[in-house]
Chains A and B, each alone.
Chain A
Amino acid sequence: MAILVYAEHDNASLKKATLNTIAAAKQMGDDIHVLVAGSGNQAVADEAAKAEGVTKVLLADNAVYEHQMAENIALLVADIAGGSTDYSHIIAPGTTTGKNFMPRAAALLDVSMLSEITAVIDAQTFDRPIYAGNATATVKTTEDKIVLTVRTTAFDPVAAEGGSASIETIDNVQDSGKSSFVNEEMAKSDRPELTSAGIVVSGGRALANGENFTKYIEPLADKLGAAVGASRAAVDAGYVPNDMQVGQTGKIVAPDLYIAAGISGAIQHLAGMKDSKVIVAINNDPEAPIASVADYFLEADLFDALPELTSKI
């Protein structure tokens, strides 16, 4: 039986989330095929073929897959993996792309699915967080086709080099005709990507405005080579764009070091960062819930502490 892994990419390069997902797949079986669906995406397939543990790459290169719209990708995945094909597991990273099309593919296959698994117990049994990470459920599935997404921060990525899988071009064009792409607005940043950064510096409502993010949070992040995150309060108040939000409804991060400045630590925020290796909280309220998860808590005014910290590291 083989495992089909869906590759996350931007048509130019493979995203690291795919390597984490392949790592999870390796715990389910040895024959790992990676599906690279997109447009003008040969380079991504070449990259995927080099990843450790991959035995075959399926390349679907067609304009209908350019934006990886759920309607077309789900049809493609269900067609490749459905019926009597050899795929026992179909897995994708728990990114917005994976979350968008995988349940659709599962429904086309008429199977239930598992979202954002954090551990593989055996090929049918998995752990996943529920209630904003306040409980962990171990779930066993007896579906013939096991469809799931992977919480990428819970698995160490496989090596990006060393593999030599064959690339098979597939000529499977699925166009639902139900949706079309209009445009996109991507936030531009030179900093590391939030979900894969080794260090994350996050700000909350206490920053009071967007300029203070630029003035206090960003210099520290730049000095540490860190990504910048935010609480929902900071996003809703318009200080920073919403793709920086860390939490149950935003991004899930698990860096080596997470610095929370002016963040109280609501349940929803903790759900997104409490698996970080070391957590530092800078807050003027010693009773803030963030204190209960912080390894180091500095009770201080962040407007004094952040510049001092930036100058001393």
Chain B
Amino acid sequence: MKALVAVKRVIDYNVKVRVKADNSGVDLSNTKMSINPFDEIAVEEAVRLKEAGVIDEIIVASIGPKESQEQIRAALALGADRGILVKTDDKPYPLQVAKILKSIAEQESADIVLLGKQAIDDDNNQTGQMLAALMGVGQGTFASEVKVEGDKVNVTREVDGGLQTLALTLPAIITTDLRLNEPRYAKLPNIMKAKKKQLDEKAPSDFGVDMASKQEIVKVVPPAERKAGIKVGSVDELVDKLRNEAKVI
């Protein structure tokens, strides 16, 4: 079986973002970039499925600027077999990413496509679901457990109120939640080996996907600042403030 894993290059999750002064977006110059944390979990899950003998080959794809190859190399160092970079300087929207991934998944005859449940920059939580729709296959979103059994995969999902388990017919799309696994660290020899692994470069036009979008970002602003609060000295003072000043209890 083959697995396709999609990874996105995003601002590192620890970085405090700065909105540009002209309100055109977030300032990404000279900021630390990483693999989107949910995608790292998707890579780890694919590697574990390979180690369990379920999967034979793991292909990693990323759609974005040329620097995204760093994130593909990072995934290769974690155990993926080869990479595909779909290079574009346009901002890729989920529907376009899903269309490109659909072509790749079909060309490569992937049985399982793993994605993160959302990218921590756009917070969309859309791409996996859109890909499943375009391919006409089942989806296991927000997965916290994945079990492949024959031509089916059982996915336990994190839903409001608890957990839900579904059985999907392969091929299927799975999007990962944080609790699915704990990604490993890449060891130096593996990082060196990853440099020799195959990485193909493509363009959106190779897949016939138009990157023009019907969504336009009018402006990006920082969220409203909260007024600085006060320090209270005792529980009594806290209770008094909540009762008489904030009037919330």
Give chain A's interface residues, CB within 8 Å of chain B: 67, 69-71, 74, 95-97, 99-108, 110-116, 125, 129-143, 176-187, 195, 199, 224, 232, 235-236, 241-243, 248-249, 251, 256-257, 267-268, 274, 277-280, 286, 291-300, 305, 308-309, 312-313
Contacts and interface: CB of A to CB of B under 8 A. Distances in A.
A217 to B, nearest CB: 15
B16 A267 contact: yes
Which A-B residue pairs are the 4 nearest by beta carbons?
A: A178-B138, A103-B129, A107-B133, A103-B126
B203 interface: no
Nearest to A116: B123
Nearest to B226: A293
Given A70-B129, A257-B246, A298-B238, A103 B94 contact: yes
Interface of B: 11, 13-14, 16-17, 19, 26, 93-95, 98, 117-118, 120-134, 136-142, 144, 154, 157-169, 172, 177-179, 213-223, 226-232, 234-236, 238-239, 241-242, 246, 248-249
A298 B214 contact: no
Contacts of B163: 184-185
B248 A277 contact: yes
28 contacts: A71-B139, A99-B141, A103-B127, A105-B133, A106-B133, A112-B215, A115-B123, A135-B223, A138-B219, A176-B138, A177-B169, A179-B140, A179-B166, A179-B168, A180-B167, A182-B165, A184-B163, A199-B249, A236-B179, A243-B158, A243-B162, A251-B160, A256-B248, A267-B13, A280-B242, A296-B230, A298-B231, A299-B231
A181 B167 CA distance: 6
Nearest to A294: B229
B99 to A, nearest CB: 9
Nearest to A271: B123
A138 B217 contact: yes
Given A280-B242, A305-B235, A312-B239, A103 B130 contact: yes
Given A111-B95, A179-B169, A296-B241, A136 B123 contact: no
